[in-house]
């Protein structure tokens, strides 16, 4: 353990939102501006899509390897989505937290719940809401490759995701991206200063009290 009085344990920033409300954009902004933060990279049994890189977008593994990792308890949480399996590796997250680095999780409410169950003291959860369903629909329509059917499906999914907003520690309404980002950073700054995350304060305070 370091002697740096400012040393702290990293936190797990779990960000959820209906698709189109901005969680991926906000996560990318955080990663760009905070070089010490990392994104949790999940393992999956599905095939890589064009442009996806192993170890960057996902760790691509086969079904037997996935099952081995499940029985070894190597995942913080895992789920079956359609025909494929997805899991959050436990060790990579633990190492980063212990080194004082924050880890971002861009997950849906079920993933957020499961991660919180495993490591409740490390999780800070943020839900991002759109300002209106109309605004959400417009954002979805602007996505490349959007079709009326896809937009309709995503809007139904969005209503379902929004119903779970009460499970989160913080809620941000993303009407203006810069404002939403600045609110997210404020949450991060405050949570980093939580007493329990600053494990070297005991020593600093002792030294302060020992000084005349």
Residues that bind ligand 5GP (CB under 6 A): 42, 46, 77, 79, 81, 86-88, 107-108, 111
Q: How far is the CB of 208 from ligand 5GP (least distance, A)?
A: 43
Residue 106 bridge partners (DSSP): 15
Q: Which is nearer to ligand 5GP, 52 or 95 (CB)?
A: 52
Q: How far is the CB of 170 from ligand 5GP (least distance, A)?
A: 20
Burial 4-41 (b: 16+ CB within 10 A, else e): eeebbbbbbbbbbbbbbbbbeebbebbeeeeeebbbbb
Q: How far is the CB of 77 from ligand 5GP (least distance, A)?
A: 6
Q: Which is nearer to ligand 5GP, 27 or 42 (CB)?
A: 42
Q: How far is the CB of 35 from ligand 5GP (least distance, A)?
A: 23
Q: How far is the CB of 135 from ligand 5GP (least distance, A)?
A: 22
Q: Which is nearer to ligand 5GP, 51 or 209 (CB)?
A: 51
Q: How far is the CB of 147 from ligand 5GP (least distance, A)?
A: 17
Residue sitting closest to ligand 5GP (CB) = 42
**Which among 121, 123, 126, 124 is positioned nearest to 196, based on CA atoms?**
121
**Which among 26, 32, 2 is positioned nearest to 13, based on CA atoms?**
26
Q: Which is nearer to ligand 5GP, 7 or 92 (CB)?
A: 92
Q: Which is nearer to ligand 5GP, 35 or 51 (CB)?
A: 51
Dist CA 48 CA 54 (whole Å): 8
Query: Counting beta carbons within 10 angstroms of the beta carbon of residue 212, is it exposed (0 to 12), middle (13 to 18) or buried (19 or more)?
Result: exposed
Dist CA 61 CA 113 (whole Å): 24
Q: Which is nearer to ligand 5GP, 78 or 183 (CB)?
A: 78
DSSP structural state of residue 152: H
Tokens 């200063």 belong to residue: 193
Tokens 């309404």 belong to residue: 173
């Amino acid at each position: 353990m370091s002697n740096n009085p400012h040393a702290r344990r990293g936190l797990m920033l779990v960000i959820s939102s209906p698709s189109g409300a901005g969680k991926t954009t906000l996560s990318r902004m955080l990663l760009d501006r905070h070089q010490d933060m990392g994104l949790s990279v999940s393992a999956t049994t599905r095939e890589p899509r064009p442009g996806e890189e192993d170890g960057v977008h996902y760790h691509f593994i086969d079904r037997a390897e996935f099952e081995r990792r499940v029985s070894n308890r190597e995942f913080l949480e895992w789920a079956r989505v359609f025909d494929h399996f997805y899991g959050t590796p436990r060790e990579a997250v633990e190492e980063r937290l212990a080194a004082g680095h924050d880890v971002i999780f861009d997950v849906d409410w079920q993933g957020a719940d499961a991660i919180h169950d495993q490591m409740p003291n490390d999780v800070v959860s943020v839900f991002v809401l759109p300002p209106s369903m109309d605004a959400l629909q417009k954002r979805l329509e602007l996505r490349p490759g959007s079709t009326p059917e896809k937009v309709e499906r995503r809007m139904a999914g969005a209503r379902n995701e929004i119903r779970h907003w009460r499970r989160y520690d913080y809620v941000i309404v993303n009407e203006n991206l810069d404002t939403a980002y600045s609110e997210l950073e404020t949450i991060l700054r405050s949570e980093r200063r939580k007493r329990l995350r600053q494990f070297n304060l005991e020593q600093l305070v002792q030294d302060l009290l020992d000084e005349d």
